[in-house]
Amino acid sequence: MSVAIVWFRNNLRLHDNESLTKALKNHSIVIPFYCFDEILFSTTKFGYPKIGVHRAQLLIESVQNLRENLRKVGSDLVIRVGNTASYLKHLSLETNATTIYTQKEITFEEVELERRVERVFNGSIEYAYDAFLFHPDDIPFALEDTPFIFTSFRKLLERNTSIRPCIALPSKLNNLSNRIQKGTIPSLNDFKFSNPIKDNRSVLAFKGGEDEANNRLNHYFYESQELLLYKEKRNGLIGADYSSKLSVWLWNGCISPRHIYWEVKRFEHEYYSNDSTYWLIFELIWRDFFKYTALKNGNKIFHSYGINGHQNLVNPNPEFVNAWIRGKTGIPFIDANMRELAATGFMSNRGRQNVASFFVKELQQDWRVGAEYFESMLLDYDVCSNYGNWMYIAGVGNDSRDRFFNVILQAKNYDSQGEFVRLWIPELNNVEKKEVHHPWASPKTLFNHLDVVDYPKLIILPPDYWKKHY
């Protein structure tokens, strides 16, 4: 009997899982394996935890659901915590496994882990590219010729590349031997986290797992049909359905981009197609663009000068960074977004663009510090998308043009009534609507007003280009 190990990584699902399907096809015994690797619970270069409590909880829930679904088809999940390479070595020796099947990752730490496994495992390792919409074997250009500009990338792929069909859900797996210690799923306390306090202001009660990912897709596409309004509402700030929120399940592969794509196509066939249905696919292509950019450029995406060699003006100021993190800059639109992130692990796309632009352009801080803080905090942290977007805002990525966001104008455009700001900054509840985005400019000597004494003063002088939007 031939034995294989399926090493689950950022592909925590049974549906559309090439590694699992190939292992089942080629081997009589398949052992599903997941390790909460020790590096995930270390710190970043600038000292932030690599994973915060919200994403850690989501990950634990995702692994729990994976185990439940494996048990439904007759198998189980071997779970370990610590050194992945060491555990895979011992499991392969214990079971006489000859092959490991796993998802290929593309950035430094993940690739280093693959190399460590390759050094200690005597058999073969079969990699699958399951995190892409457009499979790397199907793209119409060599990797080194990946277009620098998104529009060129998108048009080339849309004209020349088809999306592969999804791989069906397996109906039956082999039972695992009782001799194999399955392991228990760790708790947040095992990683020295306290259980997070649920905040009722969160846009959604996020929960990890393939089942929850499919529930969310079914709600957004078929139950509410909010997909039809995606393009018009995607810059929203409050509520569950201003966007799909599927990124929360894409990051660790509880759902595949191909699955989302083909569900959009099914929706268009059964109901209706419009700019919004296309725009969700458009965003999936952006996600692929950042992945191919990372594949092409390697560790440049982590350098201060990014992939285009531009060097930003940086004046390191720990007090500025701390105020930004705590939502205490004195700029309500920035602070509201940062407080939402801290409390829930989520922030809208519009919010992310604004707080990143403010951090880099106004505070003149190193964009990598902001990127690492997002890595720590975001529920949907994806290394390529996160660093790709931060480089983009900082002008060191795929577009060197100045991506500057006037935070006052943005606040007036996207939170015109101040509802989002008041939701997250109750100190400003009694401030008039026309002044809530720039309380320092109030004619009422605002900071002497008893109702807002707890809101901080501006940490920078307001520039003139803000003032014309008061």
Tell me the per-residue pLDDT of 250-294, one tens digit each, with 9 for 90 and over: 999 999 999 999 999 999 999 999 999 999 999 999 999 999 999
Say whether 244 counts as a known binding-site residue. yes
pLDDT over 60 at 451, yes or no: no
Cα dihedral 467, 335, 434, 449 sign? negative
What mean pLDDT do residues 388-416 have?
Answer: 92
pTM of the model: 0.96
Say whether 289 counts as a known binding-site residue. yes
What pLDDT is attached to residue 448?
A: 56
Query: Does domain 318-467 sit in CATH 1.10.579.10?
Result: yes
Say whether 243 counts as a known binding-site residue. yes
Look up tokens 């995190």; give the residue: 131
Specify the CATH number of the domain 1-130. Answer: 3.40.50.620
Q: What radius of gyration do the chain's Cα atoms show? A: 23
What band does 310 get if pLDDT is binned at 50, 70 and 90? Answer: confident
CATH 1.25.40.80 residue ranges of the chain are 132-168+209-297
CA nearest neighbour of 331 among 442, 469, 428, 439? 439
**C-beta of residue 243 within 8 angstroms of C-beta of residue 234:** yes
What band does 450 get if pLDDT is binned at 50, 70 and 90? Answer: very low
pLDDT over 50 at 233, yes or no: yes
Say whether 173 counts as a known binding-site residue. no
Report the DSSP beta bridge partners of residue 43: 49
Instruction: Tell me the C-alpha distance between 115 and 100, whole Å.
Output: 13
Say whether 9 counts as a known binding-site residue. no
What mean pLDDT do residues 356-363 have?
Answer: 97
CATH 3.40.50.620 residue ranges of the chain are 1-130
What mean pLDDT do residues 113-122 have?
Answer: 98
Say whether 382 counts as a known binding-site residue. yes
Say whether 13 counts as a known binding-site residue. no
Say whether 247 counts as a known binding-site residue. yes
Say whether 245 counts as a known binding-site residue. yes
Instruction: Tell me the C-alpha distance between 383 and 39, whole Å.
Output: 15
Say whether 283 counts as a known binding-site residue. yes
What band does 400 get if pLDDT is binned at 50, 70 and 90? Answer: low
H helix runs in 234-274, sequence order: 247-250, 257-270
Say whether 290 counts as a known binding-site residue. yes
3-state secondary structure of 31: strand
Within 8 A by CB and 6+ apart from 274, the residues are 228, 231
Instruction: Tell me the C-alpha distance between 470 and 458, whole Å.
Output: 15
- Domain 132-168+209-297: which topology? 1.25.40
Say whether 230 counts as a known binding-site residue. yes
Q: What is the rounded (10 degree) CA torsion for 63, 67, 70, 74? A: 170
Instruction: Tell me the C-alpha distance between 252 and 210, whole Å.
Output: 10
Say whether 278 counts as a known binding-site residue. no
Amino acid of residue 64: Q
Lowest mean pLDDT among 273-277, 305-309, 341-345: 305-309
Average pLDDT of the chain to the nearest whole number: 96
CATH 1.10.579.10 residue ranges of the chain are 318-467
pLDDT over 70 at 76, yes or no: yes
Pull the structure tokens for residue 309.
Answer: 């060699």
